[in-house]
Structure 1
């Protein structure tokens, strides 16, 4: 199982700050596609991704027990 942490509008769209799913062996990009088919994540492609508290790339392959965080862009002044 992979634990996915969601922030800001992604959290609001999912209705939860965390989701768990079977995604071991998928890349971060494939995980994004899987999540997009289940939730209405408008800015998922623009979100920064961290795997186990380290920023990662789209081709990072996930292992069971990984924690993935999607951090959408923020604006403010």
Structure 2
């Protein structure tokens, strides 16, 4: 029996526009860390922002990119915010 990891991914600003949605549910057959998940999604949605320009958050707290993801986590990738 294989276990799956179900995640909710939230998109903001440019990532929301490039993904064409504010959030999506992702189901993985193996756990990933935040960096690997972003790489997977960047390929799927053709994101133009490199990981180095983003912050990752898991369950509403900023985290390092090597944070392992667990079933039912809420993951957000937050681009820089322009002020004015």
Partner of 2:39: 33
Structure 1: gaps spanning 5 or more residues: none
In structure 2, the partner of 1:53 is 60
Q: Which residue of 2 aligns with 1:68?
A: 75
CA distance in 2, matches of 1:20, 1:54: 19
Quote the residue 1:14 is aligned against: 19
Larger Rg: 2
The Cα of 1:44 is off from its aligned counterpart by 4.6
- 1:1-39 CA distances to partner (integer Å, 9 max, x unpaired)? 100000011000011000111245100011011101101
SS of residue paired to 1:2:
strand
Runs of 4+ in structure 1 off by over 4 angstroms are none
TM-score with structure 1 setting the length: 0.91
Aligned-residue CA RMSD (Å): 1.2
TM-score by length of 2: 0.84
Which runs of no fewer than 5 residues in structure 2 stay unpaired? 1-5
